[in-house]
Structure 1
Amino acid sequence: MAQQQGTVLVVEDSPMFRKMLSDMLQVLGFTRILEAFSGQTAMELLEEQRPDLVCLDLTLPDISGYEVCEYIRATPALKEIPVLMISARTQTMDRAQAEEAGASGYLIKPFTPEDLQQQVERVMAARPRKEG
């Protein structure tokens, strides 16, 4: 049984893939799933919401996932949120650019629920603990 993970923002322009990813994340214990189909929508959502995780597609219709990630890292209220980049691009350069933009993890499509779980657990474990 997955523990409660809180809220996740899924940024993905393909409705089919967004649904699949949302379903997998629910299985992993995320209780609220926010969805954005573009980088602009994601940034607007992030102004109002502070998710516990962002799953971010690199290739979006308006601005790239890199830019969204840079925006998150440049915004003090958001900069601690783990960002898991998801992409069909397998080039080392893409992964390096994702890391440079501040991504916490990089997952290559297509992936299995196990791949997703491993990456989510890794990026969630690496984030700084909130002092209560």
Structure 2
Amino acid sequence: MEQLQGTVLVVDDSPMFRRMLSDMLESLGCTRVKEAFGGRAALELITQERPALVCLDLTLPDLSGYEVCEQIRATPGLEDLPVLMISARTSAMDRAQAEEAGASGYLIKPFTPDELRQQVERVLAAHPKKEA
């Protein structure tokens, strides 16, 4: 995977999972990884510093991953921001709801670094970076 330019935002309420995912992303060549505990904090960070990618858990303490994704999609300038949903939920309904909310991809926990790399590459390829 070529080095990802820009920041990757990891949003998950589990500090252990955020750290693990951040470490995996760094090992894949992501140079800047930021973490957020909940949906509101994530949205604040996203508007302050538009990340190159958001890795978003579905189950958060304040807003659901679906709500966060919908708000990202409704924000001018962020409509094409790559959002990779990451969840332990495996049902087709959860996947369909994530897609409806505007998620670019869906990754089921637990996953391997290789599965993460494949999903990140697929999501980024689907959202070519706009030249500023």
Give the TM interval when normalised to the shorter protein.
over 0.9
Q: Which residue of 2 aligns with 1:4?
A: 3
Equivalent AA in structure 2 for residue 21 of structure 1: L
Structure 2 unmatched ranges of 5 or more? none
Distance 1:46 1:131, change over 3 A: closer
How far the C-alpha of 1:3 sits from its partner, in A, is 2.2
- Aligned-partner SS, 2:31: strand
Share of identical aligned residues, percent? Answer: 73
In the alignment, the residues of structure 2 paired with residue 8 and residue 61 of structure 1 have an alpha-carbon distance, to the nearest angstrom, of 21
- Equivalenced residue count is 131
Structure 1 unmatched ranges of 5 or more? none
Task: Give runs of aligned pairs for residues 62-101 of structure 1, distance below 5 A.
Answer: 62-101=62-101
Equivalent AA in structure 2 for residue 96 of structure 1: A
TM-score between the two structures when normalised by the length of structure 2: 0.95
Cα distance per residue 1:6-60 (max 9 Å; x no partner):
2100001000000000000011111111110000100111120100000000000
Q: Which residue of 2 aligns with 1:120?
A: 120
Cα distance per residue 1:58-92 (max 9 Å; x no partner):
00011100000001111112111100000000000
In the alignment, the residues of structure 1 paired with residue 48 and residue 14 of structure 2 have an alpha-carbon distance, to the nearest angstrom, of 23
Equivalent AA in structure 1 for residue 4 of structure 2: Q
Runs of 4+ with >4 A deviation: none
Q: Which residue of 1 aligns with 2:23?
A: 23
